[in-house]
Amino acid sequence: MDEPETPIEKHHFRRLRRSEHGGPPLGLFVLPHLVTTAGLFFGFYAIVQAFNGRPDQAARAIILAAVADAIDGRLARLTHSTSRFGLEYDSIADTVSFGVAPAMLAFSAGHLQVIGRTGWVLAFLFTACAALRLARFNVAPGRYRGRFEGLPSPAAAGMVATTVLFVGFLRKLGVELSVHEGFVAAGTAIVGLLMVTAIPYRNFKEIDLRHSYGTMVAMVFAIALVIVQWRVTLFVIFVAYCFSGPVEWLWRRRTGRVLERSEPKPQPAEHGGQT
Least confident among 55-64, 101-110, 139-148: 139-148
Q: Any idea where the domains of the chain sit in the sequence?
A: 7-255
Least confident among 26-30, 107-111, 150-154: 26-30
Residue pair 123/106 in contact (Cβ under 8 Å)? The answer is yes
Interatomic CA distance for residues 125 and 147, integer angstroms:
24
The more confident residue out of 32 and 59 is 59
- Percent of the chain at pLDDT exceeding 70: 80
| Amino acid, single-letter form, for residue 167 | V
Res. 80 pLDDT band, cuts 50 70 90? confident
Res. 51 pLDDT band, cuts 50 70 90? very high
Res. 83 pLDDT band, cuts 50 70 90? confident
Query: Under CATH, which number does the domain 7-255 receive?
Result: 1.20.120.1760
Output the pLDDT for position 23.
54
Interatomic CA distance for residues 242 and 239, integer angstroms:
5
In sign, the C-alpha dihedral spanning 62, 64, 67, 73 is negative
H or E segment and range at residue 201:
strand 200-202
φ/ψ (deg, to 5) at 80: 55, 40
104: which residues sit within 8 A by CB, 6+ positions away? 46, 47, 50, 51, 58, 123
The more confident residue out of 73 and 112 is 112
3-state secondary structure of 135: helix
Picking from 148, 125, 157, 137, the residue whose alpha carbon sits closest to that of residue 200 is: 148
User: pTM of the full predicted structure?
Assistant: 0.82
In whole numbers, what is the pLDDT of the chain averaged over residues?
A: 83
Across 151-173, average pLDDT:
94
Helix ranges (H only) for 54-100 are: 55-78, 84-95
